[in-house]
């Protein structure tokens, strides 16, 4: 359900539908928490649409933190290919850096593959949120 908040002068749009939650944190980092439901192409479309809405009023390209700790592995090669295409759409919308963290070994392998296949720079996967945030905060 969409939720608008004002925090530190930033209008925040938040969406949570069981598949994902996306919002701008107090630190200005766009956060995406992936839920425990299996993803499909329509879900990826909603993520891109929600991301576009969340970053719409930001003054600069955002840093993005993606929490994959609850994510379920996507085994379909077609869905994985779709994720790569959606990553390219998000890249076109703009970001400074994207840090992903958490998830099973299958999630880690899948995200590493998607990052490499997309050929997008400034996207990395980390084991912990702390490691991911440290990298995002580096200049």
Right CATH for 3-137 from 3.30.750.24, 3.10.20.740, 3.50.50.60, 1.10.3210.10: 3.30.750.24
How far out from the chain centre does Cα 66 lie?
Answer: 4
Find where tokens 């969406």 sit.
15
Extract the tokens encoding 113. Answer: 């593959």
Query: Concatenated DSSP letters for 24-37?
Result: E-TTS-EEEEE-SS
Which helix (H) or strand (E) element contains residue 111? helix 105-118
Is the pTM higher than 0.75? The answer reads yes
pLDDT of residue 89: 74
Taking every pair of C-alpha atoms in the chain, what is the biggest distance, in angstroms? 42
Per-residue pLDDT of the chain in tens (139 residues, 90 and over written 9): 333 333 333 334 555 556 788 999 999 999 999 887 776 777 778 888 888 888 888 888 899 999 988 887 666 666 666 766 766 777 677 889 999 999 888 878 877 877 787 777 888 999 999 999 999 999 7
| Token output for 85 | 């295409």
């Amino acid at each position: 359900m969409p939720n608008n908040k004002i925090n530190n002068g930033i209008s925040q749009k938040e969406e949570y539908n069981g598949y994902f939650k996306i919002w701008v944190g107090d630190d200005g980092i766009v956060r995406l928490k992936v839920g425990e439901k299996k993803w499909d192409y329509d879900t990826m479309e909603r993520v891109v649409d929600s991301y576009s809405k969340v970053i719409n009023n930001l003054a600069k390209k955002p840093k993005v933190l993606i929490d994959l700790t609850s994510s379920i592995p996507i085994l379909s090669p077609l869905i994985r290919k779709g994720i790569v295409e959606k990553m390219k759409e998000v890249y076109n919308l703009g970001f400074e850096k994207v840090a992903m963290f958490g998830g099973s070994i299958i999630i880690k392998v899948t995200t590493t593959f998607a990052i490499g296949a997309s050929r997008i720079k400034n996207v990395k996967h980390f084991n912990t949120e702390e490691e991911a945030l440290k990298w995002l905060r580096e200049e």
